[in-house]
Amino acid sequence: DTKLSISGIAKRYGPTAALEPTTLDVRRGEFLTLLGPSGSGKTTLLMMIAGLVEPSAGRILLEGEDITERPAYRRDIGLVFQNYALFPHLTVAENIAFPLEMRHMPRPEMTRAVTEALELVRLPHLGQRYPRELSGGQQQRVAFARAIVFKPALVLMDEPLGALDKKLREELKLELRKLHRELGATIVYVTHDQDEAMLLSDRICLMANARVAQVDAPTDLYNRP
Ligand code: ADP
Ligand code: ADP
């Protein structure tokens, strides 16, 4: 059951191939990780799925619909980056409500959705705080909540634990796994951390030199001839 179908997608910057033509299917409900060293093309691929980088070639289907030509803001996709990117002048609840405001969700429904999202990321009491009053780990949880509150077809995460210290990273790693189970969302996740990929992923897409080298379940990754 295919959620996202990427065919022949490629990106060049002048003579440099940031991503060679790549074909990849993401299954419904899976946690798929793009794992590879710095410069291997992970972020470029993720940003093309997000609609934030224009492909040089190829196309992308989300639920069978061609989104290659659709601008980023019209895509049914939740995004989380390394540096939280919360709005500093909005409360936590307003930050989480933002994508719902964009979609003109009625107030009562919005309040319910924000409350649910706050509970899901285990911050039920922090709705009226401002981002600067929160720790880094709490801010990143708010960013998770904002990315999932509108029940997107797909959630994209680029090194979301990269800015956190080791202890917080371990903690949020386990929470991310739970979050994925509870949501049943389809997640494409970027990291260069092998342990993180092994723990979180249903499948790992190993990238090197602007190409996909291998796609496998974590347990099969090192056992394939
Ligand atoms: P990763 O996320 O795996 O670290 P990237 O997708 O960021 O890799 O980058 C892949 C390659 O494309 C790198 O060689 C990088 O220097 C190049 N690249 C990425 N973005 C640009 C850009 N805007 N202009 C020129 N080269 C770029
Ligand atoms: P407004 O912008 O209408 O003054 P708020 O500043 O209270 O409203 O927050 C914006 C939206 O976020 C509200 O419409 C509400 O749906 C939601 N919201 C605000 N605070 C909370 C909270 N503590 N728990 C859940 N949802 C909240």
Distance (angstroms) between ligand 1 centre and the Cα of 9 equals 15
Mean residue pLDDT of the chain comes to: 94
User: What pLDDT does 83 receive?
Assistant: 83
Q: What is the pTM of this model?
A: 0.89
Mean predicted confidence (pLDDT) in 154-158: 96
**Which of the ligands is closest to the CA of residue 127?**
2
* Helices and strands (H, E) in the chain, number of each type: 6, 10
Distance (angstroms) between ligand 2 centre and the Cα of 95 equals 9
Best residue among 96, 110, 112, 114 to mutate for probing ligand 2's pocket (most ligand atoms within 8 Å of CB) is 114
β partners of residue 214 = 206
Distance (angstroms) between ligand 1 centre and the Cα of 118 equals 34
Angle between helices 107-120 and 136-148 (to 10 degrees): 130
Mean predicted confidence (pLDDT) in 186-197: 96
For residue 14, name the pLDDT band (cuts at 50, 70, 90): very high
User: Residue 225 pLDDT > 70, yes or no?
Assistant: no
Q: Which residues line ligand 1 (CB under 6 A)?
A: 13, 16, 18, 36, 38-44
Mean predicted confidence (pLDDT) in 184-211: 96
Mean predicted confidence (pLDDT) in 18-39: 97
Distance (angstroms) between ligand 1 centre and the Cα of 11 equals 9
Name which of 134, 150, 4 is nearest 65 in CA terms: 4
CA distance 24 to 90: 38
- Determine contact, residues 136/164, Cβ cutoff 8 Å: yes
- Determine contact, residues 66/144, Cβ cutoff 8 Å: no
User: What pLDDT does 169 receive?
Assistant: 92
User: What pLDDT does 189 receive?
Assistant: 98
User: Residue 73 pLDDT > 80, yes or no?
Assistant: no
Q: Is 129 exposed, middle or buried (0-12, 13-18, 19+ CB in 10 A)?
A: middle
For residue 173, name the pLDDT band (cuts at 50, 70, 90): very high
